[in-house]
Structure 1
């Protein structure tokens, strides 16, 4: 059955209509490689591609990633990018500022998915760039590129909403193939998280096993999860201290950092993994001349509430430059990819129940209201409909409680009905309402405090 193209009769005509059809295979693959420029604009207008083409892109990228060493060796010029976290429209700005992918070498430090609502678009465009330019685009694994974190956060839900479980499983298998670290200019170790008590030399990374779901301890876990201690002097009571913030791995300080850099003839560690107000942070634990730890975070206004800047590193001829940028506007997505009709159901039900209250209450000019069996049956049907809904929470529970009490009162007395209103659930606050924060630093700190629990690795799913 052929689908008809919808009428171009939008009430707000200045907002462009998203593509109604996905790109065809012939449109996307004009050669044996995906047309990444077409894909870029198609995703920017909220378009989709076919499931079989999605799986095809993942399959080709997986083979390329699998063939690369666990420890990549690269030289500048190169652009280094930190966490992106599904912020597709900010990712487009990164590619605009960082250099044309056709002739610019990129190193991405992981965390491409989760938190943002456009993770599939980010990772598919990255994989398409990797397929087109395998000697220019390099990707490391982040702590969110795993089954546990994507199930806890929203990437798995996004895959099920936009495709299905087959696509999610294909992505997870591809994440198992991502390299773990990179040596830049023979001077810098680039990694998502940080150092490990099991990391003594670069050979420890070079010969480690990587093609599996990360465990809760060991070298792979630490490379993805460890953090430098938040201290200007790097002092720590132990060389490696348990990382209670993350729920796994370690904090490392100046002593561990200086020893690792000296033993491996390196200058600094470049890592991502932590949101930064300015998009980056430098720790001078090895003298004032050059930072020993550089944290780079590339997702501006993280989670739409941090009010932070994004940043990237540009290496050219041995010179390190950091470029900052602000967030880009993006389409609004309801929580859990809920459509507007399902989102509005609690409010509609609430108003209906309130109307029922008014109708069934005693009228000032009437002593009785007749409620027959048909009315009771309709109330029961409404109650069952609410209980069978996918919606959950206090709102539905209160409405069901009200309906049940209403039905019970009708069964006891259908001739004389007196209904006392209970406290009905209040409408949810407008999605546009937000606390007024006059200072960006205050906004960043408050967001970080409120989001603290989400930085911890869960003990289990």
Structure 2
């Protein structure tokens, strides 16, 4: 039974959590809120505050559970309804979000922001229902009627011209154009996307690479539209060459407001050096996420809806994993619900039969799962996928002759983290994520000896355009 002393100690811990939250140190905030709950588990504010910190860390499943607990303790807690609605919106559970937004508006009829979010959520639900109603089993290719050769680039176009092959000169010019806030001509956008779609379509679901003598392979995690931080990686670590290969492990787009710039630059390098530049698909290279988190809106704002459709088709062609030197399986999310899953299962997965990952299956798990510190498997903190423990990782590595699994998918305050007794490595390459999280970015250099060399870096200044500038605005409450 809680005492007055334990309650006072819990409030002091909550205050420490609030301080960490204000400093944008979400993991520390969660630690303090959790300690407060251990001392005194009957204060709804502790759960509601932890829900908001979990939202910041994209642990939406945990946020929903915390908000629900807060409402069990206090059914009139409007903040808890609001946070549960935001978390459900984030995992595209729009019907549940709609119910909670309606309750917020009913309890606070003069809350203009709540009314706006309710209206947006109602539109989203209708949009999803309409999309399902017109869905066809095997849609025609977005490239089918695209006559790129007939498109003329005007004589007054002030950038480097592109013929039928990518050049370093074009890439150098494109990098500068994007820094200056300019775009490339739509013909070149079409050429780049089509060339890369064709290249990656023919790659295996799990690309297998060796690190040759006197070469380096750099593995980068999520970049999420943070174009200027991507350029900082290249400035610090060197631009891609035939002696310096790169692997980008998914989530190139969404959230950050230079997602088209990142996607086009990475694609241009893939076209220029297809055997030395590798791209794994992430959970944000998917239609559902792109429609909510900004990439679709950005494509329409900067180019056209057709450009989004072309990117969407190219994303569905991307490999899902890369095996480095037969020692490191690199994939965006993590491991699997079945201990019997092997590298051969990944090799044999026909990703072209299923363009989007869905809610279950091997592709979904490769894109969505996360590690947990405790043994076994647990429900997803995100509300999608699952979590896997150190014993799962150990068994998978032993069964498949691996040194470790390298994955991304989650913010790490130091840019990377080595977990599961060294067998599970997370690398995240978007520092000061969404301009709100005080995390570093990181990348991993791997030489011919297959040793992992970790590098951390800080965010760099960027033009005054906010993250999620092109996203569904109901998610802005999460920023």
| Aligned ranges 1:119-138 → 2 under 5 Å | 119-138=259-278
Distance in 2 between residues matched to 1:142 and 1:128, nearest whole Å: 19
1:217 partnered with 2:354: no
Whether 1:159 aligns to 2:299 is: yes
Preserved CA contact (<8 Å) 2:434 2:467: no
2:269 match: secondary structure:
helix
**1:57 and 2:200 are equivalent in the alignment:** no
| In 2: Cα distance, 1:219 partner to 1:328 partner | 37
Query: Scaled by the length of structure 2, what TM-score is found?
Result: 0.62
1:15 is aligned to none
Distance 2:183 2:155 in 1: 5
Partners of 2:370 and 2:467 lie apart in 1 by 30
Is the contact between residue 225 and residue 249 of structure 1 (CA under 8 Å) also seen in structure 2? yes
Which range is displaced more, 299-308 or 70-79?
70-79
* TM superposition outliers: structure 1 runs of 4+ over 6 Å: none
The match for 1:9 is none
- 1:83 is aligned, of 222, 227, 246, to 222
- Residue deviations 1:392-426, cap 9 Å, x none? 99xxxxxxxxxxxxxxxxxxxxxxxxxxxxxxxxx
SS at match of 1:105: strand
Offset of residue 115 of structure 1: 0.6
How many angstroms apart in 2 are the aligned matches of 1:258 and 1:23?
59
**1:318 shift after superposition:** 2.2
Counterparts of 1:23 and 1:160, CA distance in 2: 24
Does residue 312 (structure 1) correspond to residue 419 (structure 2)? The answer is: no
Q: Which residues in structure 2 correspond to 1:226-241 (within 5 Å)?
A: 226-229=369-372, 231=373, 235-236=374-375, 239-241=376-378
- The one of 371, 381, 388 equivalent to 1:252 is 388
Distance in 2 (alpha carbons) for counterparts of 1:255 and 1:193: 17
Q: Which residue is equivalent to 1:203?
A: 344
What do residues 230-254 of structure 1 show as CA deviations (whole Å, max 9, x unaligned)? x2xxx23xx32221x2222110001
CA shift in 2, pair 1:113/1:318, >3 Å: same
Q: Is the 8 A contact 1:279 1:311 kept in 2?
A: yes
Aligned-residue offset at 1:209: 2.0
3-state DSSP of counterpart to 2:176? helix
Richer in helix (by share): 2
- The answer (yes or no) to whether the contact 1:161–1:337 under 8 Å persists in 2 is no
Deviations 1:64-107 (A, max 9, x none): 11011111111223100000000000011112223231231111
Q: Which residue of structure 1 aligns with residue 379 of structure 2?
A: 242
Larger radius of gyration: 1
Cα 1:173/1:142, change in 2 over 3 Å: same
Pair 1:38–1:68, CA change in 2 (3 A): same
Residue number in structure 2 paired with 1:294: 425
CA offsets 1:100-121 (integer angstroms, 9 cap, x no match): 3123111110000001000000
Specify which of 141, 147, 166 is matched with residue 33 of structure 1.
166
Higher normalized contact order (CA 8 Å, seq sep 6+, divided by chain length): 2
Q: Distance in 1 between matches of 2:437 and 2:182?
A: 28
Match 2:251 to one of 98, 111, 114 = 111
Over aligned residue pairs, what C-alpha RMSD do you find?
2.2
User: Retained in 2: the 8 A contact 1:23–1:50?
Assistant: no
Q: Distance in 2 between matches of 1:80 and 1:330?
A: 23
Is contact 1:112-1:145 (8 Å) kept? yes
Count of equivalent residues = 311
